[in-house]
Structure 1
Amino acid sequence: MTSPITAGHQLHTDALVADAHNDLLMLVVRRPPQLWATYFRDIWYPQLRKGGVDLQVLPIFIDHEFTPEGALRESLRMVEAAHRIAEGNPDLVALCRTGAEIDTAIESGRMALVLALEGCPQIDTDIELLQTFARLGVRIVSFTHFGRTALADGSGEDLTGSRLTRAGVEALALLESLGMAIDVSHLGATAVDHVLELATRPVIATHSSSRSLHDHHRNLSDDHIRGIAATGGLICVNLYAGYLTTEPPTLDHVVAHIEHLTDLAGPTKVGIGSDFVADLFAEKVPTCDRPLIIEGTNTEILVPGLEGPSGLPLVSHALLTAGHHENEVRGIAGSNLARFLGATRH
């Protein structure tokens, strides 16, 4: 008889595994351009493959040091890095623009990479640049991070009660016309309401958890979870401990958030958006500033085993152990996200 842990890990190995959020491009572009492809191949590809990842969304996030003047330039460097990763490792990965390209990459044994914009400081009110980024391969867009952009307020500004700006409304319409997905993770609560009022296509939250289980502004209310599902969209659970609990984090907290989302949205509307930060903070945060405390949370406290992509099989194992059906676990592990990305393309 197969042991439960073997069964869980075997299911994960056999499943299509997809992650809606890993900021690894921020670390790639810290290297000289001639090393971008080899750095990814030597450092990140082994971790992703150990985690079973077949499909990885790569956000383009612009740190404060580059805003406002350098935001567009740094964004283009990150786009170029993604293209060089794919061109330098054609046997391992493919940069995908369509659902068909994702299918082709995975069927050939390669990892499918999909670009996203996290926040839009490089856009400001020049929303026509969203079409430029679409031409370059970007398929998912969020309008802001914690703070304010010309398109919307982030969740850190919830007290403003702001909806999308006029430019934000125009940007949403343009994204829908281009077949690009709007991402509401990081968006302020009232702005999420506004998106759900306007959206005519499926909406995604690439890395958000449940506000009912942990009252953090980065998490989604039950109404928002239901609203995203009603668009035909997807909510991808954030595995970062600070958004899961104030207690010492465990895999049980991850399972609890997933179960709450599936109860509200249905098991076909839930995925994983890991938001792994350990490698990022280890390299970017000086020793004198550690531990890094953000909003009273020690950013170095992580769910044991989920320090990076190689830990993803633990989530599938925990769900299977908790009694979830194999098909449901497979969907959450990745096929739901793969299906969503196929459905949001022309």
Structure 2
Amino acid sequence: MDPMALHLDAVVADAHNDLLMLVARRPRAVWVDYFREHWYPQLREGGVDLQVLPVFVDEEFRPEGAWRATLRMVEAAHRIAEGNADVVALCRTGPEIDRALASGRLALVLALEGCPQVDDDLELLNTLARLGIRAVSFTHFGRSMLADGSAENAAGSRLTRAGVEAVGLLESLDVLVDVSHLGRGGVGHVLELATRPVVATHSSADALRHHHRNLTDDQLRGIAATGGVVCVNFFAGFLTEEKPTVDHLADHIAHVAEVAGEDHVGLGSDFVAEVVDEKVPACDRPLTVEGVDAEVLIPGLEGPAGMPMITEALVRRGFTEPVVRKVLGGNLLRVLGGGPRQSQGYHSGVE
């Protein structure tokens, strides 16, 4: 099995890349060209066919400017798609994803990372769904009106009353509930309530690297029981305390596949290199995130162009072609409502 040929033929779907944050912080006049000239080549070099774009509101905009920052990022995504309609499409439904992939275009999907713009005004989730949001996480590291983040695990909190209502509302809107960043009590509460697939867009395995941002084996099994998918995070500090390699990432993928099942594991890159380079001044370096060095990266996998390394690592350790296809994107595509549902893929458009 030729890993590169497999990678280029499979659907490659990434559940979490913060590139939209970097687009939106630029003048709107350059949004379209910046994406086309800077990000699109990297994504295509990496064979990425479907990219989930999280909408994350920085601390500086909370709470007063949270809604404004959200709308700016959503508008940037729509402008990107409209201005580059020959190569990308912003997709709200599974059939729209299918059409984009079948035409050789990159499918873009919006997600909400944390809910500072919503708080407990849940009607705004309807508004966000209308604008194209397809997955929602309730908090980041700290406390929100819906739930506690993973850094608050010591509080032992479950969802708030508004959080419970939000799960039902999102399911009715066909929007995925994302448990990445959610505290352990909150994850368990979501899994008790869920009647539809739950996702973790960028989380790794606590059994291999004990950190509050990672998921326990019980949580992995619980997400699988909903029909959901755990998309493994590439952030080196959440994978290992050693010098990171792509094999550490493959270890986490293999563990999730073993515990949750091969139909319930995917990829959620959480690339941070360019975000750190642009947004963190030298006086704040080195940057640590929840006790780990954010500037330690897997060599060669600093951005989307390195994605073929993952396929090579999985093939090297004996993953079969159908399972590799599921990991690379088939599983995430399924929960987003697209198809084909199992092992077959679209051509990625990479020559």
Deviation string 1:258-311 (CA, Å, 9 cap, x unpaired) is: 111001111111000000000100000001211212333211101111100000
Superposition deviation, residue 153 in structure 1 = 0.3
Return the alpha-carbon distance in structure 2 between the equivalents of residues 334 and 295 of structure 1: 29
TM-score (norm 1): 0.97
Return the alpha-carbon distance in structure 2 between the equivalents of residues 25 and 78 of structure 1: 7
Structure 1 residues 311-326: aligned runs within 5 Å? 311-326=306-321
**Is residue 250 of structure 1 aligned with residue 245 of structure 2?**
yes
Cα distance change, pair 216–120 in 1 and its aligned pair in 2 (3 A): same
Superposition deviation, residue 343 in structure 1 = 6.6
TM-score (norm 2): 0.95
Question: What residue in structure 1 maps to residue 31 of structure 2?
Answer: 36
Q: 2:337 is paired with a residue of what secondary structure?
A: helix
Question: What residue in structure 2 maps to residue 80 of structure 1?
Answer: 75
Return the alpha-carbon distance in structure 2 between the equivalents of residues 174 and 299 of structure 1: 35
Pick the aligned partner of 1:203 from 171, 192, 198. Answer: 198
**Is residue 135 of structure 1 aligned with residue 130 of structure 2?**
yes
Pick the aligned partner of 1:238 from 233, 248, 252. Answer: 233
Q: 2:16 is paired with a residue of what secondary structure?
A: coil
Q: 1:342 is paired with a residue of what secondary structure?
A: coil
Pick the aligned partner of 1:191 from 162, 186, 189. Answer: 186
**Is residue 297 of structure 1 aligned with residue 298 of structure 2?**
no
Residue identity matched to 1:29: A
Q: 1:53 is paired with a residue of what secondary structure?
A: coil
Q: 1:237 is paired with a residue of what secondary structure?
A: strand
Question: What residue in structure 1 maps to residue 100 of structure 2?
Answer: 105
Aligned length: 339
**Is residue 114 of structure 1 aligned with residue 121 of structure 2?**
no
**Is residue 262 of structure 1 aligned with residue 257 of structure 2?**
yes
Superposition deviation, residue 177 in structure 1 = 0.7
Return the alpha-carbon distance in structure 1 between the equivalents of residues 308 and 338 of structure 2: 26
Pick the aligned partner of 2:153 from 154, 158, 163. Answer: 158
Q: Unpaired segments of 5 or more residues in structure 1?
A: none
Residue identity matched to 2:181: H
Q: 1:120 is paired with a residue of what secondary structure?
A: coil
**Is residue 181 of structure 1 aligned with residue 181 of structure 2?**
no
Question: What residue in structure 2 maps to residue 327 of structure 1?
Answer: 322
Identity of aligned residues (%): 66
Question: What residue in structure 2 maps to residue 341 of structure 1?
Answer: 336
Pick the aligned partner of 1:144 from 133, 139, 143. Answer: 139
Return the alpha-carbon distance in structure 1 between the equivalents of residues 217 and 261 of structure 2: 13
Structural RMSD (CA): 1.0
**Is residue 64 of structure 1 aligned with residue 59 of structure 2?**
yes
Deviation string 1:13-52 (CA, Å, 9 cap, x unpaired) is: 1111100000011100111011111110011000000000
Return the alpha-carbon distance in structure 1 between the equivalents of residues 300 and 164 of structure 2: 41
